Amino acid sequence: MNPHDSLLGHLASRLSAHPENVATEALAFILRQNEYLRQAVLRFLEGLGVPPPQVVSFSAQQSEENAARPDLRGADKSGAPVLFIEAKFWAGLTDHQPVSCLRALPSDRPTTLLFIVPEARRQMLWRELLVRCKEGFQEAAAFESERQSVAQVGPNRFLAISAWKPFLESLQSAALSQGDRVSSENLNQLLGLCTREDTTAFLPLRQEELSAGIGQRIFQFGALVDEVCESAVEQKICVRGPSGGSKLSYYRTVRIAGHDFYFYLSPWRWHTLAETPFWLEFPSDRNSWDDLLQALHPLSLQPPPMILRDPSWRDTPVIPLHPKLGVEHHEVIQGMVDRLRNIRDLIPASPP
């Protein structure tokens, strides 16, 4: 069967505004059926380099004491949560992800928070998870393999991410080795839903996506570009330059340490490179890039690296600027101004 054509994928896309909930319930149903499939999940984690937690049961959508509400909860013999699984397609992270979810896991035994996501979103979401972990846990460290990523948070807690396809195929392989055709077909149905979500170029519009609030927020994002630049000019971090835009993007030119950078509101980079609408683009003078990359090299060493390349625009180096969450307007502005200050302080000043 072509995985694009599974019945579950077809029905979920037509009848549910939140396909993640369908995938979560389907995965919970499958894992409750057989112990060998639960063990296959633990072997998959072990293959990522994560010490497998001692899971004996799974439940869905259960709230924890600190208000975290993971999609799937794996508990040990004592009933304590030792494995959380978050099933994601295109919904954004909640305020509790990943820090509150990680804090809800015990620290005295091996525990894991696993995100399962579309391959098209895996690297971008992993960057956002690491940014949040770095803010919430000073001890977070990260390492990556070709298709999966893992971060250790303290001595026993782990954060991991995987694409849906390798995760489900590992379970399907276990089902086939057991001769369990029913579970194999159930997994194939779920794989069909995940493949549809991973490859759909334009997801069906939902009413909330057309609300006036979305338009208001995009307008406010554009205003933030102006406000951050004006505040940075007032604090003598940069010099004011011209503004412009195209294809729903907007930028202000800012001279930092003698170089003309572009401070962008860029939906395209937001969609393709990292989960933030705000970007600092390197100067158009390519001759300056080598010196700037060398000066800003410390940003490349951060987990995740904070200098990316935009393949859609001359492979230009760009820096994602993540706004602070859950704070007042002025704190959002000052947080990004502080990022510009940190960048300025790394660059040797050019002659005026």
pLDDT tens across 70-121, in order?
999 999 999 999 999 999 988 888 888 999 999 999 999 999 999 999 988 8
Among 177, 204, 231, the domain boundary falls at 204
Q: How far apart are CA 270 and CA 197, in angstroms?
A: 19
Between 86-90, 199-203, 267-271, 313-317, the lowest mean confidence (pLDDT) is in: 199-203
Does residue 352 lie in a domain region?
A: no
**DSSP for 76-140, written as a single string:** -TTS-EEEEEEE-SSPPPPTTTTHHHHHTS-SSS-EEEEEEE-HHHHHHHHHHHHHHHHHH-TT-
pLDDT at 14: 54
Q: What number of other Cβ atoms are within 10 A of residue 99's Cβ?
A: 21
Q: Provide the residue range defining the domain that includes 13.
A: 3-204
Q: What is the number of domains present in the chain?
A: 2
Residue 205's pLDDT band (cuts 50, 70, 90)? low
pLDDT(201) > 50: no
Arithmetic mean of pLDDT, 115-138: 88
Residue 8's pLDDT band (cuts 50, 70, 90)? low
**311 and 174 co-located in one domain:** no
pLDDT at 95: 86
Comparison of pLDDT for 326 and 306, the residue scoring more: 306
Does residue 351 lie in a domain region?
A: no
Does residue 293 lie in a domain region?
A: yes
